[in-house]
Structures are given as C-alpha cells and as structure tokens.
Amino acid sequence: MKHFVLMMAVILFAVPGCRAEETVDAAPAPAIEKLIVEKSDGTKHEFTVEMATTPETRTIGLMFRKSMAPDAGMLFVFEQEERRAFWMKNTLIPLDMVFIRKDGVIDSIHANAIPHDETPAPSKGAALGVLEINGGRAAELGIKPGDIIHHNSFGNPLAQPAPIH
C-alpha cells in the first residue's frame, strides 16, 4: 500500500511538471524584423527587433536576458492605441522604453529603466507600440520624442532601407 501511495504521488506531481515544460518548449520564438528610427534631422538608424505581438511574447518580453546586441531590441505591438505602462520585473539589463503612437511618431521615452524595478513606467500619451532597447541607447543615438519609427506595424515602412548611421 505504501508503494502504491508513493507511486501515485510521483505520478501526480511529476506529470503536470512535464506538461508545463513541454508547453514552454513548444512556445514559438518571436519573429525577428527590422525597424528604422528616423530622427528629426533626417538621419536613420536600423534596429533588429523581436516582435512581441501575442499575450505570451508580451508577458515574457526581455525577462531573464543577460545582454543584448547594441542594435537589437523588442517591439511590443498592441491592438489599439492607449496609455501604456511597463515595468522591469525579472529583467536583468537596463532598458530604454520608447513609446510609439499609431502613426509611428515617438510619444515619449523612459530612459534607463532599472532592472527588477516593479514601478510602472508610463507613456505620456497614447501608444500603439513600445520599443525596448538597451538602456542609454536612445540618448547615445540622439533619439527623441517626435522622431519616427518606420515599421509595418505603424503603416509607414520605408521601401528601401536608408543608409544606416
């Protein structure tokens, strides 16, 4: 009888754990796309971004990443434009959060968000998307509110990639 109870306990606790791991492993990786930031002076800079367009990819975001390439990031795209707020729970690297209106214009930037900080970082206005890049990168490149993000998500892709600066 003891062996039966022990075996049932192992089955009850082990099987759900295996299913959870299978679910995580089965989650598709985010799509990788290019976007271009066009600054007010006309210069352009290209980023390679992971697309966070589903509830699953938005929930995980850039959590647990130990590093990110200088011109990499993640683009969160939502179904409708509204005020957004992001936090840094389980995020290991500082990030700039670039809040983007539905027309691709940068609404606001929350610079150098602190790893693990659960204080919400809000947009100033309504945003359809949020671009997360390495902390300090927006200032380094001179990216500011009013600059334009070119990407299909905002209906304003560039036909040909412009020279990258």
Longest dimension (CA), the chain: 78
Q: Is residue 14 part of a domain?
A: no
Please state the domain count of the chain.
1
- pLDDT (mean) for 24-48: 86
Instruction: Decide if pLDDT at 10 tops 70.
Output: no
94 located within any domain? yes
pLDDT higher than threshold 90 for residue 12: no
69 lies in a domain?
A: yes
61 located within any domain: yes
- Under the banding of pLDDT at 50, 70 and 90, the label for residue 40 is very high
Residue 151 token pair:
């990407």
Give the β-pairing of 72-86 and 106-113.
unpaired
pTM, full prediction: 0.79
Q: Please report whether residue 91 resides in a domain.
A: yes
The string of pLDDT tens digits covering residues 56-83 is 888 888 998 999 999 999 999 999 999 9
Whether 5 maps to a domain, the answer reads no
Give the closest residue to 160 by CA, choosing from 32, 39, 46.
46
Q: Give 59-124 as a 3 state SS string.
A: HHCCCCCCCCCCCEEEEEEEEEEEEEEECCCCCCCCEEEEEECCCCEEEEEEEEECCCCCCCEEEE
Range of the domain at 85: 29-154
Give a yes or no: residue 21 inside a domain.
no
Residue 131 domain-assigned (yes or no): yes
128 with 81: CB under 8 angstroms?
A: yes
Identify the pLDDT of residue 43: 97
Which CATH number do you get for residue 70? 2.60.120.1140
Decide if 80 contacts 86 (C-beta within 8 A). no
